[in-house]
Structure 1
Amino acid sequence: MTETMEALVVLEPSVLEIQQIPVPEPGPNEVLARVRAVSICGTDAHLIHGDYPGFWPPSFPFTPGHEWAGEIVALGEGADRLGWKVGDRVAGTSHNACGVCQKCVEGRYNLCENYGKPGLHKQYGHSYQGVDATYAVHNVKCIFALPDSISFDEAAVIDPASIALHVARRGNIQPGDTVVVTGAGSVGLLAADSALVCGAARVVVVGRGYRLAKAAAMGFETVDTKDGDPVAAVRALTDGLGADVVLECAGVPETLGWAMAMLRRGGRCAMVGIPTQAVSLNVQPLVLDELELVGSRASAGEMRRVMPFVANGRVRAGELITHHFPLTEYQQALDTFNDRTSGAIKIIVHP
């Protein structure tokens, strides 16, 4: 192992550079991993563009990346006592929560009440340096043993798969429910699979373009937003009743309005997409139809729960991988990700 490594450094919004920087050293209860695969997330694209100024990241320069897999090459103090060893294959997630606040104690570490406080919380690739590099340090709370049957590339999609399972669970899907997913991106398609895992009898994906075509190829019912009013289309598919649950995975103000209007009386919308613009919402049906709207942030324990479903093919993470790039071509990878005509769904970067 050399003393320096390649790393993607965002110097300022939309200005990228590959630099040689020192290899980090793992601290107590941390590991150093050789990163083998990183998946580009929509949050990465927004962060690099500067859409969350002063929050994600707190400042520039910054190294993004948080959906990854690799193998352990060095152990920090105490990591061995917790069962980890050099050579272990792992998949990583971003939230390194404090572990002691009320939300962490209750298992909702994604809502850590010490979020962003130095020394208490890190979110790798968001508020703390990420994994778009040859090596990365992670706390043992944020790594999960990887079965041999899952490749590094597939494992780099386990973090978004866990987010998709979390939003499905936040939707409180009951056996036999009709579920609509708004947004046919990677999280939307993984959420559609997760809805089936949670017991949905029917899953309808709302979107457009090649991503919606992928949803159809995966066997889901589809509604194309280019063909007219998607709310009317969902109503027509459900005998006028609407969906029991909608999983809002697009993060666009218009799609949240659609999602709420697609619900059956007493229905529930779980929202994981994060709009970057103001949202206008008709709240009368929220009251009169006793609708529910809940947020869904990252995941909280679903990394372990989703892995068996990725391994047995019920959550089809590997099917969503469309492109591969070396880290040195990250700008091209990002441009491909942002190009809605490229055919990209999940892009894997190899440091």
Structure 2
Amino acid sequence: MTETMQALVVLEPDVLEIQEKPVPEPGPHEVLARVRSTAICGTDAHLIRGDYPGFWPPAFPFTPGHEWAGDIVALGPGAEAFGWQVGDRVAGTSHNACGACQKCVEGRYNLCENYGKPGLHAQYGHNVQGCDATYVVHDVKTIFKLPDSISYDEGAVIDPASIALHVARRGNIQPGDTVVVTGAGAIGLLAADSALICGAARVVVVGRGYRLEKAAALGFETVDTTAGDPVAEVRGRTGGLGADVVLECAGVPDTLTWAMAMLRRGGRCAMVGIPTEDVALSIQPLVLDELELVGSRASAGEMRRVIPFVADGRVRVSELITHRFPLAEYDKALATFNDRSSGAMKIIVHP
């Protein structure tokens, strides 16, 4: 190890620089890890663009990144007591919750009631420095052992896979359900795999372009939003009844409107996409058809649950990795991610 490392620094919205920074030191119950692979998330792109001013991040300059895998190279005080050793391969997630508030005690640490309070809660790559660097410090609550059968690149996609499994579980999918996924990006396709794991008999992915082609290649039924009314198409394919569950993974006004209109009476929509603008919904069907709309934030314990499914290929993270870049070319990686014509799904960055 050296005393300094490379780190991506966002100086201000859309202004990026690779800087030489001191290697951080792990504190109590923390580890220092050598980052081998990181993945670009849609939230990273929004944050770098400055779409959440003063919130994500609280201020610039800032190092983003929260999807990663690597090796433990040093232990902070107390970390060894939790079974961690130097050399362990790990995948990381972002929420370092307080562990003591009512939501944390109930296992819903993604909703920590001390969110953002210094010393009580941190969300790596969001309100504290992230993993787009050679080394990163994480609390032991936020790292998970990576089996030898899972590569570092695949390990960097376990965090979004856990988010996909969380939204599927929030959808309360029952065995035999018909599930529709709106949005054919990485989270949408991982959510489609997760729906099958949760017992869906039929999964239909709604989207367009090369992402929808990927959904078809993975064996899912597809509905092309450019070919006509997607709501009418879904209802036509379900005998006019609609879907038992819709997983909304696009986060734009149209897709949420479609999602609610695609539901069968008594159906449930779980939404993980975060719109950057308000959405108008018709409330009468919500009441008269007893529809449900629930939010889904990050994950709450699904990192551990999803790893075996990644290992045995039922959650197909490797199928979604399309590009790889060194950290020094992060600007090119981000431009590729933002370019709908690039064919990008998950982009891996190697510090």
Question: What is the CA deviation profile of residues 253-302 of structure 1, one whole-angstrom value per residue up to 9, with x for unaligned ones?
Answer: 11000000000000000000000011111111000000000000000000
Shift of 1:39: 0.4
Question: What is the CA deviation profile of residues 16-63 of structure 1, one whole-angstrom value per residue up to 9, with x for unaligned ones?
Answer: 000000000000000000000000000000000000000000000000
Partner of 1:111: 111
Partner of 2:99: 99
Paired AA for residue 14 in structure 1: D
Q: Following the alignment from structure 2 to structure 1, what is the Cα–Cα distance between the partners of residues 201 and 131?
A: 38
Shift of 1:325: 0.1
Partner of 1:24: 24
Partner of 2:220: 220
Q: Following the alignment from structure 1 to structure 2, what is the Cα–Cα distance between the partners of residues 217 and 305?
A: 26
Partner of 1:268: 268
Q: Following the alignment from structure 2 to structure 1, what is the Cα–Cα distance between the partners of residues 340 and 110?
A: 30
Q: Following the alignment from structure 2 to structure 1, what is the Cα–Cα distance between the partners of residues 214 and 208?
A: 10
Question: What is the CA deviation profile of residues 79-115 of structure 1, one whole-angstrom value per residue up to 9, with x for unaligned ones?
Answer: 0111000000000000000000000000000000000
Partner of 2:127: 127
Paired AA for residue 247 in structure 2: L
Partner of 1:141: 141
Q: Following the alignment from structure 1 to structure 2, what is the Cα–Cα distance between the partners of residues 68 and 295?
A: 25
Q: Following the alignment from structure 2 to structure 1, what is the Cα–Cα distance between the partners of residues 229 and 297?
A: 29
Q: Following the alignment from structure 2 to structure 1, what is the Cα–Cα distance between the partners of residues 221 and 82?
A: 45
Q: Following the alignment from structure 2 to structure 1, what is the Cα–Cα distance between the partners of residues 171 and 136?
A: 34
Partner of 2:252: 252
Q: Following the alignment from structure 2 to structure 1, what is the Cα–Cα distance between the partners of residues 207 and 44?
A: 22
Q: Following the alignment from structure 2 to structure 1, what is the Cα–Cα distance between the partners of residues 128 and 237?
A: 45
Shift of 1:213: 0.2
Q: Following the alignment from structure 1 to structure 2, what is the Cα–Cα distance between the partners of residues 237 and 337?
A: 33
Partner of 1:229: 229
Question: What is the CA deviation profile of residues 152-180 of structure 1, one whole-angstrom value per residue up to 9, with x for unaligned ones?
Answer: 00000000000000000000000000000
Partner of 1:282: 282
Q: Following the alignment from structure 1 to structure 2, what is the Cα–Cα distance between the partners of residues 335 and 280?
A: 31
Task: Say if 2:173 is the partner of 1:173.
Answer: yes
Q: Following the alignment from structure 1 to structure 2, what is the Cα–Cα distance between the partners of residues 209 and 343?
A: 9
Q: Following the alignment from structure 2 to structure 1, what is the Cα–Cα distance between the partners of residues 319 and 308?
A: 16
Partner of 1:6: 6
Partner of 1:339: 339
Q: Following the alignment from structure 2 to structure 1, what is the Cα–Cα distance between the partners of residues 283 and 320?
A: 36
Partner of 1:67: 67
TM-score (norm 2): 1.00
Paired AA for residue 282 in structure 1: S
Partner of 2:50: 50
Q: Following the alignment from structure 1 to structure 2, what is the Cα–Cα distance between the partners of residues 342 and 180?
A: 26
Q: Following the alignment from structure 2 to structure 1, what is the Cα–Cα distance between the partners of residues 277 and 111?
A: 23
Paired AA for residue 254 in structure 2: E
Q: Following the alignment from structure 2 to structure 1, what is the Cα–Cα distance between the partners of residues 284 and 42?
A: 32
Runs of 4+ in 1 over 2 A off after TM superposition: none
Partner of 1:324: 324
- Which secondary structure does the structure 1 equivalent of 2:17 belong to? strand
Q: Following the alignment from structure 2 to structure 1, what is the Cα–Cα distance between the partners of residues 113 and 241?
A: 39
Q: Following the alignment from structure 1 to structure 2, what is the Cα–Cα distance between the partners of residues 340 and 82?
A: 43
- Which secondary structure does the structure 2 equivalent of 1:32 belong to? strand
Task: Say if 2:195 is the partner of 1:189.
Answer: no
Q: Following the alignment from structure 1 to structure 2, what is the Cα–Cα distance between the partners of residues 45 and 283?
A: 32
Partner of 1:164: 164
Paired AA for residue 40 in structure 1: I
TM-score (norm 1): 1.00
Q: Following the alignment from structure 2 to structure 1, what is the Cα–Cα distance between the partners of residues 284 and 12?
A: 43
- Which secondary structure does the structure 1 equivalent of 2:149 belong to? coil
Paired AA for residue 190 in structure 1: L
Paired AA for residue 291 in structure 1: L
Q: Following the alignment from structure 2 to structure 1, what is the Cα–Cα distance between the partners of residues 171 and 211?
A: 23
Q: Following the alignment from structure 2 to structure 1, what is the Cα–Cα distance between the partners of residues 81 and 310?
A: 28
Shift of 1:229: 0.5
RMSD across aligned C-alpha pairs, in angstroms? 0.3
Q: Following the alignment from structure 2 to structure 1, what is the Cα–Cα distance between the partners of residues 40 and 282?
A: 34
Q: Following the alignment from structure 1 to structure 2, what is the Cα–Cα distance between the partners of residues 23 and 260?
A: 48
- Which secondary structure does the structure 1 equivalent of 2:281 belong to? coil
Q: Following the alignment from structure 1 to structure 2, what is the Cα–Cα distance between the partners of residues 323 and 283?
A: 42
Shift of 1:221: 0.1
